[in-house]
Chain A
Amino acid sequence: MKWYDRITSIDRRIIYMLLTVLVILPFFVNVNIPQKIMPQTQRLFDFIESVPPNDKAVMISFDYSPQTMPECHPMAQALLKHCFARGIPVIGLSFDPEAPGLALDALTRVVHEFDSLAAGKDDSLIYGVNYVYLGWKSGRIAAQLDMGESISGVYPRDYFGNLIETLPLMQKVNNYKNIAIVVILASADYPIDWIRYPQTRYGVKVGAGLTAVMAPQYYPFVQTGQVSGLMSGMKGAAEYETLVLEHGYARTLGTAETGMNSQSMIHILIMAFIILGNVGYFFSRRGKRKGTHE
């Protein structure tokens, strides 16, 4: 077998082994590959920075499933830290049936972290005052449109069964007029509905945190300003974590930033394999052509 045939027929198990080693290596060896903040992530961060404290709320639609946790869960936690540190009330909800457990996990972790650092009861985060989780709702588009009239009409009770009007935060938030931005953290095509329906009808500002697979589909909406900011995959999550840390809203980085070193190593490996594959293909084609002429 010629060398070029050999590099085009590497056993896939060797490739998987190399991938696994390169994913694990950065967790034990100090590899620091610098990451540049992308403009769309910066735009989302800047938008949240521009929201005045204790004024309008940020609505977060948790719409990702467990398999995409490595990408979307760090986004949720970084965004929640940013909002809570700036005193912005947060209203959570979900349209993906798999998401409520993950939304509660992100909220619980971040609230616990803030409360453990709080000097007293006044500094701690209170459910119903600083944040609310409304839960899952069927009939996504109808619910999104109806919330433009009245959120309590769509969600008469929150996830825990409390009547909406008994929650102090929800007494101040009636509809989208009291919402600064809706940020959709999604592993499926949920943000497009927010752009097409509530934004078109009520002018709702939309931000997004998406899995990397979906991100290219939303760049045209960022360019036109229909999406006010976008976190793309694990990289977007890592960038938001970095921004939150740099501005003093968090004490440590999250899991996305540590995962990005593995991500960069794998990208280098994949690029090397793409080049090797193409070189092998080029030479094997030339070899075959020569063989035909001879």
Chain B
Amino acid sequence: MSSDPWIWIGAVLTLMIFSFLYKDNPFYKFGEHLFVGIANGYYIVYYWQNALKPNLFEPLSAGQFIYIVPLLLGLMYFTRFIPRISWVVRIPIGFTIGWGAGLSIPAYFQADILRQLEGTVVTPATFSNPANGIWAVIILIGVVCTLIYFFFSREHKGLLGSASRLGIIFIMIGFGASFGYTVMARVSLLIGRIQFLLGPWLGFID
């Protein structure tokens, strides 16, 4: 069993959080509140020390007065709390949206639309490996049918209805895969905690 007090603190807090599985209790509440408090404290100190201080206040104190511009833009967000001048908040929001849209729209088109469309194109070269060819056709059918499912301008009847129903199957398979991966992720976290309790704390495993 570990003699390191930090390992003990980690182990006891883990057990406090796990106690919720039986039912809600003061030990769980204590662990939860402690976590929220520490996380907030960590982020405040971290951003002050690693973002605000080196990127704003140090250059300002060194006489680089151009940094007054981002400082003012940042401060304008706080005008939300003063109803009389709350309209000022539109200036930094406009700046952020303008910068974000200008930067993101071409990048989104390129990475999320054009390259993804390319991925659905089936050419004779795709069939150089028959298995790849079959998968490419399945992807193409999946994309088309899923898009048809979200096409609401005509009633889903006849061919459109059949394609839409096939689209639902593809969507459901997607949801199933996501759910399976989510289960795997959550179980991994439990395994990690159990490895910590059995290893560094109790010393039963290496």
Interface residues of A (CB under 8 A from B): 12-13, 16, 19-20, 23-24, 27-28, 67-71, 97-98, 136, 138-139, 141, 192, 195-197, 199-201, 211-213, 215-216, 220, 223-224, 226, 232-235, 255, 258-259, 262-263, 266-267, 270
Contact = CB atoms under 8 A, between A and B. Distances in A.
B111 A226 contact: yes
B195 interface: yes
Contacts, number: 114
Interface string B19-45: 001100000000000000000001100
A23 B194 contact: yes
A152 to B, nearest CB: 16
Interface of B: 21-22, 42-43, 46-47, 50-51, 55, 103-104, 106-108, 110-112, 115-116, 118-119, 139, 174, 177-178, 181-185, 187-195, 198, 204-205
A13 B160 CA distance: 47
Nearest to A142: B103
Contacts of B46: 97
A263 B188 CA distance: 7
A196 B115 contact: no
Contact of B108 (A13, A67, A196, A258): A196
A262 B190 CA distance: 10
**Chain B's interface: helix, strand, loop or mixed, by majority?**
helix
A259 to B, nearest CB: 4
A70 B191 contact: yes
Given A196-B111, A233-B185, A259-B188, 10 more contacts: A12-B21, A16-B21, A27-B195, A97-B43, A138-B47, A196-B112, A197-B107, A215-B181, A220-B116, A259-B191
B129 to A, nearest CB: 12
Contacts of B190: 19, 23
B111 A263 contact: no
A213 B181 CA distance: 5
Contact of A224 (B42, B118, B183): B118
A259 B182 CA distance: 16
